[in-house]
């Protein structure tokens, strides 16, 4: 078997943890398997490197920031190879240049395009464990790129796809994917299985366990993932195309505080206004999420939408400087909001799921500002102070607890 194992920052955060990972991988290797280990940078070292960069230049050139950040994964992979050496297990660390992991040009958020497999195959044939730096790639100008925060998951899935691995295991500091974040929903339960689509919604909605691009890629190439803890032997959660357990109505509740609501009041009620407004934001690379347009009155209408909180200032600035062009009267921005979502493939064939969620919120006297839905998701925007109460109430209403 060829197995790709990815370990996150906390799983390699110190000497003991590094040896813990090395032992787990050596066990797999000694069974006769080929083992590829993908690592993140140790602990919070990527954050530390970003902070360090900012002491020199608050707005560092993106190429140089990537040059700096890629050192984090180089440290963890080299140390891991040294740990294997003490155990007399043959191993070699490879960075993005040595593998060759080819990406698009863009710094800070590059996409993997192609992976050369020759070097890795050669090392595996010589019965070495291959330790690969996560999160980094090389662009066509031979510059380092990075794949976006949390991107090591995507490195692992891409390698599993390129090498047709038999298993791709994502090790983290929690036991798997939960029905909600246990930090604020104490009754949250670990899921045995979840579909790619559900996971994509949960990843995008900020559950933070998997990089959403890694899930997209796993779905595209049919790579089955296992998410599990590096600190115990519990079974973890399998992420795959279809789950065969009897379908629950919903699989999880997600809470996302990184959101702000912007309202543009008094737009001209005529064709092209929504296009102009959202096109302006798109050109500045600002992602818009939930959108609500009011019914027109006296030839004007209002459009409200959400953006991530860190992009709210930029969005308001662009809109304000173009307000007269789109004929709007005023703009307001509310940062004290949060999104609560339910996700589940089971809701496709069951009417009344949204109503059940709204009832749970009504029983808590929680007011809904905006609503958006997809086939497998219902999202509401509410006041931030109600967020945790809402998540727990909805979690209870759907009987997700243990």
Q: Please tell me whether residue 150 binds Mg ion under the rule CB under 5 A.
A: yes
- Show the site string, 6-45: x = touches Mg ion by CB under 5 A, - = not: --x-------------------------------------
Tell me the C-alpha distance between 214 and 67, whole Å: 22
Q: Please tell me whether residue 134 binds Mg ion under the rule CB under 5 A.
A: no
CB of 209 to Mg ion, least distance (A): 7
CB of 211 to Mg ion, least distance (A): 6
CA 306 to chain centre: 19
CB of 61 to Mg ion, least distance (A): 25
**Nearer of residues 134 and 344 to Mg ion, judged by Cβ:** 134
Q: Please tell me whether residue 144 binds ligand ASP under the rule CB under 6 A.
A: no
Give the chain's end-to-end CA distance (angstroms, integer).
Answer: 35
Of residues 67 through 96, those in contact with ligand ASP by CB under 6 A are 72
- The values of phi and psi at residue 37, to 5°, are -110, 120
Q: Please tell me whether residue 40 binds ligand ASP under the rule CB under 6 A.
A: yes
CB atoms within 10 A of CB 348: 12
Helix (H, G, I), strand (E, B) or coil at 144: strand
CB of 246 to ligand ASP, least distance (A): 34
- The answer to whether 346 and 390 have CB atoms below 8 angstroms apart is no
CB of 9 to ligand ASP, least distance (A): 5
- The answer to whether 179 and 400 have CB atoms below 8 angstroms apart is yes
Tell me the C-alpha distance between 124 and 135, whole Å: 22
**Nearer of residues 147 and 191 to ligand ASP, judged by Cβ:** 147
Helix (H, G, I), strand (E, B) or coil at 244: coil
> Encoding tokens for residue 254?
């997600």
**Nearer of residues 41 and 347 to ligand ASP, judged by Cβ:** 41
**Nearer of residues 22 and 42 to ligand ASP, judged by Cβ:** 42
Tell me the C-alpha distance between 265 and 316, whole Å: 13
Please give the size of the binding site for ligand ASP, defined by CB under 6 A.
Answer: 12
**Nearer of residues 254 and 319 to Mg ion, judged by Cβ:** 254
Q: Which of 13, 137, 151, 252 binds ligand ASP (CB under 6 A)?
A: 151
Q: Please tell me whether residue 152 binds ligand ASP under the rule CB under 6 A.
A: yes
Contact partner, 378, from ligand ASP, Mg ion, none, Cβ < 5-8 Å per class: none
**Nearer of residues 40 and 230 to ligand ASP, judged by Cβ:** 40
Tell me the C-alpha distance between 254 and 207, whole Å: 6
Task: Give the containing element (helix H, strand E) for 194.
Answer: strand 193-195
Q: Please tell me whether residue 137 binds ligand ASP under the rule CB under 6 A.
A: no
CA angle 361, 367, 373 (to 5 degrees): 70
Contact partner, 137, from Mg ion, ligand ASP, none, Cβ < 5-8 Å per class: none
Give residue number: closest CB to Mg ion: 150
Contact partner, 9, from Mg ion, ligand ASP, none, Cβ < 5-8 Å per class: ligand ASP
Tell me the C-alpha distance between 132 and 73, whole Å: 9
From residue 358, alpha-carbon distances to 47, 184, 218 in Å are 38, 20, 33
DSSP conformational letter for 188: -
Q: Which residues bind ligand ASP (CB under 6 A)?
A: 8-9, 40-41, 46, 72, 134-135, 149-152
For Mg ion, the binding residues (CB under 5 A) are 8, 150
């Amino acid at each position: 078997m060829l197995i790709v194992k990815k370990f996150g920052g906390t799983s390699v955060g110190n000497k003991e943890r590094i040896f813990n990972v090395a032992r787990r991988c050596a066990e797999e290797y000694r069974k006769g398997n080929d083992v590829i280990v993908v690592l993140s940078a140790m602990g919070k070292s990527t954050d530390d490197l970003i902070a360090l960069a900012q002491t020199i230049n608050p707005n560092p050139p993106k190429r140089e920031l990537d040059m700096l950040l890629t050192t984090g994964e180089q440290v963890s992979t080299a140390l891991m190879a040294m740990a294997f050496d003490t155990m007399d297990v043959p191993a070699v660390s490879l960075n993005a240049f040595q593998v060759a992991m080819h990406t698009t040009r863009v710094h800070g958020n590059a996409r993997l395009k192609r992976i050369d497999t020759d070097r890795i195959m050669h090392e595996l044939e010589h019965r070495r464990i291959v330790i690969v730096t996560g999160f980094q790639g090389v662009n066509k100008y031979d510059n380092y790129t990075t794949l976006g925060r949390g991107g090591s998951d995507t490195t692992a899935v891409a390698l599993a796809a390129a090498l047709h691995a038999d298993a791709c295991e994502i090790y983290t500091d929690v036991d798997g994917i939960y029905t909600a974040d246990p930090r604020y929903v104490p009754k949250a339960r670990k899921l045995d299985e979840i579909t790619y689509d559900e996971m994509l919604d949960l990843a995008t909605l900020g559950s933070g366990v998997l990089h959403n691009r890694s899930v997209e890629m796993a779905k595209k190439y049919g790579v089955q993932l296992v998410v599990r803890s590096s600190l115990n032997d519990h079974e973890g959660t399998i992420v795959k195309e279809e789950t065969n357990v009897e379908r629950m109505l919903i699989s999880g509740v997600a809470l996302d505080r990184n959101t702000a609501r912007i309202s543009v009041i008094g737009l001209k009620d005529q064709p092209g206004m929504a296009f102009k407004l959202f096109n302006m934001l798109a050109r500045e690379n600002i992602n818009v999420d939930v959108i609500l347009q009011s019914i027109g009155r006296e030839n004007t209408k209002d459009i409200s939408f959400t953006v991530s909180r860190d992009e709210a200032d930029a969005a308001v600035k662009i809109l304000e400087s173009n307000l007269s062009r789109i004929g709007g009267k005023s703009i307001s921005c509310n940062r004290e909001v949060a999104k609560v979502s339910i996700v589940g493939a089971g809701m496709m064939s069951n009417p009344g799921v949204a109503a059940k969620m709204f009832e749970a919120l009504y029983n808590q006297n929680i007011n809904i500002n905006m609503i958006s839905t997809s086939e497998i998701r219902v999202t509401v925007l509410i006041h931030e102070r109600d967020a945790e109460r809402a998540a727990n109430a909805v979690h209870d209403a759907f009987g997700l607890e243990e």
